[in-house]
Amino acid sequence: MKRKVNVIGVGMTKFAKPGASPEYYEMARDAGRIALEDAGIEYREIAQAYVGYVYGDSTCGQRAVYELGLTGIPVVNVNNNCSTGSTALYLARQAIEGGLAECVLALGFEQMEKGALNSKFNDRETPLGKFAQVMNDVQGMNGAPVAAQMFGGAGREYRWRHGTKKETFGKISEKARRHAANNPYALFNQPLTLDQIMASDEVFDPLTRFQCCPPTCGAAAAVLCSDEFAAKHSIAKPVYIAAQSMTTDYATSFEPQSMIKMVGFDMSRSAAKQVYDQAGLGPEDVDVVELHDCFTANELLTYEALGLCKDGEAEKFIWDGDNTYGGRYVTNPSGGLLSKGHPLGATGLAQCTELVWQLRGTADKRQVAGARVALQHNLGLGGACVVTMYRND
């Protein structure tokens, strides 16, 4: 029988630009300590650790958790591109749910260099590089960073289908900066006007520079446990994982040729449906969402993939303000990847941290009033998508 999985501790570091961060193991140590302190437990009570990162040696996970203690526990290193942090969370959740452990740490970090992500896509000898080449061949794209071509191409395809204005994508970035102004952990928390966003350098139509997430350094962590462990430590009414699903690419990612499908739309839609079915809830029951806005185009597509609005209605959803405070959903109250930053291994756990704060009612100026159900979406090309629902009731 599956066991309930609680999130009793979360923590993250303030994200930083490449070259301006501490060493990866120092960031990981700080995030881990914050999460343990938040949970009110000692590291010696952790039975397993799942540690995510994309850039680094094969046992960087050990180097990171050894900063917290040397207790001989299993340490599993995780790499699933941009969905790495949520994949670590997924494995940690399985360990608790399946009765393999009582208390587990999920930890993610990244120490990136400027241009690192683009070089990863451009290396044609890697699986991801070959994947990028397939995408390029679809529409003969070249010149811009490959990741921008992928998601910009998807945004371009959406525009062709629905006649969407370029400014609609810019509105997403305007919202992200407005939310991030209240987030001390965000890399960019200075508001921008729509005019400023649209006037920034074009990267790949319809994307401008302020519509692309920056490479970032940082760390985040979560402590998961069983009901029995929570009761033993007098932890009352913790936030819990109500449902979670991971999907990978379907045949439809590549046939018929569609940039929207290639960047993970079907993975996202399928994972979301599985989560709604598991939880017995629908998108209408969700209060707050942290989704993978690596580019504004992906946030727009994800509104429809998650069922926050109907297909073809994302533009109206955005201009009606249904993606922010006072609307139907508050999406990315943290500022998202666009403003908070995107340290690949940490992103999924930073999303988790924000949503746990929201459901506890401790998100300060970002607080979504009365939030009880939260949805998380974390996407990695190559590919994997993890969707997680949290509740506090």
Catalytic machinery residues = 82
The Cα–Cα gap between 361 and 380 comes to 29
Number of other residues whose CB lies within 10 A of the CB of residue 184: 9
On whether the CB atoms of residues 378 and 245 are closer than 8 A, the answer is no
Cβ pair 223, 9 in contact under 8 A? yes
Buried b (16+ CB within 10 A) or exposed e, 229-243: bbeeeebeebbbbbb
**From CA 156, how far away is CA 302, in angstroms rounded?**
15
Q: How many Cβ atoms are within 10 Å of 163's Cβ, its own excluded? A: 9
Residue 361, both tokens: 């009612």
What angle do the packed helices 296-305 and 265-279 form, to 10 degrees?
A: 40
HSE at residue 72, side-chain half, CA atoms within 13 A, is: 0
**Kindly report the CA angle at 93 between 92 and 96, in degrees rounded to 5?**
90
Say how far apart CA 192 and CA 181 lie, in whole Å: 10
Write down the H helix ranges in the chain.
24-39, 60-65, 84-97, 116-122, 127-139, 146-162, 166-180, 194-199, 227-232, 259-262, 265-279, 296-305, 314-319, 336-340, 344-360
Distances (CA, A) of 82 to 51, 54, 99, 236: 14, 8, 28, 33
Instruction: Specify the DSSP class assigned to residue 209.
Output: G
Which residues are 208's β-sheet partners?
A: 202
| 3-state SS string for 250-279 | CHHHCCCCCHHHHCCHHHHHHHHHHHHHHH
